[in-house]
């Protein structure tokens, strides 16, 4: 996705709407996969000698849940906002900037969001809430007792 600075004037901004192949994200596929192309919608405005690019980029990814090791759908919508200062090349490539905007939206460690009942929405498995810290008010003995109860059934 690129634009030609020579074709944009202060009076006339440029609207761009394009699908960018998700391969540009360079996802390793070990913990993140792209399910569809990136849809980018931006406006390029000329302000004196600079260009301001604003808009959105969205796509749908699949991330590996750090808790259940299952793939979960992960829609991404990233805000795009970049200022290009003069002097300008004949053509300005927005693709690396959009890649950056999308990657910044991804969590370092993705985990599914458990329901109020502690159920994973992807696997349907139940998880017990973990004690806040090792020196919580609840003694270790209580957790031992609970785990013994669990293994009985």
Residue nearer to Zn ion on the CB measure, 65 or 94:
65
Q: Tell me the CA end-to-end span of the chain in Å, nearest whole number.
A: 58
Structure token digits, residue 86: 């003069």
| Whole-angstrom distance, CA of residue 3 vs CA of residue 87 | 15
63 lines the binding site for Zn ion (CB under 5 A): no
Tell me the closest approach of the beta carbon of residue 66 to Zn ion, in angstroms: 8
Please report, as residue ranges, which positions from 115 to 134 form the binding site for Zn ion (by CB under 5 A).
Answer: 120, 122
SS3 state at 36 = coil
* Shortest Å distance, C-beta 104 to Zn ion: 23
Residues 94 and 123: their CA atoms lie apart, in Å, by 38
> Which part of the chain contacts Zn ion (CB under 5 A), choosing from 41-49, 65-73, 129-137, 139-147?
65-73
Q: How many CA atoms lie within 13 A of 26 on its CB side?
A: 6
56 or 127: CB nearest Zn ion: 127
Would you tell me which residues interact with Zn ion (CB under 5 A)? 65, 67-68, 112, 120, 122
């Amino acid at each position: 996705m690129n634009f030609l600075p020579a074709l944009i004037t202060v009076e006339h901004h440029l609207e761009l709407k394009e699908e960018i192949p998700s391969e540009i994200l360079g996802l390793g596929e070990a913990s993140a996969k792209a399910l569809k192309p990136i849809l980018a919608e931006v406006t390029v405005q000329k302000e004196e000698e600079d260009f301001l690019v604003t808009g959105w980029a969205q796509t749908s990814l699949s991330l590996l849940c750090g808790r259940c090791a299952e793939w979960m759908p992960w829609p991404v919508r990233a805000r795009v906002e970049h200022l290009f200062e003069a002097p300008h090349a004949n053509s300005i490539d927005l693709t690396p900037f959009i890649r950056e905007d999308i990657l910044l939206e991804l969590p370092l460690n993705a985990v599914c969001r458990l329901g109020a009942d502690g159920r994973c929405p992807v696997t349907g498995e139940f998880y017990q809430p973990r004690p806040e810290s090792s020196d919580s008010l609840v003694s270790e003995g209580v957790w031992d007792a609970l785990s013994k109860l669990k293994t009985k059934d």
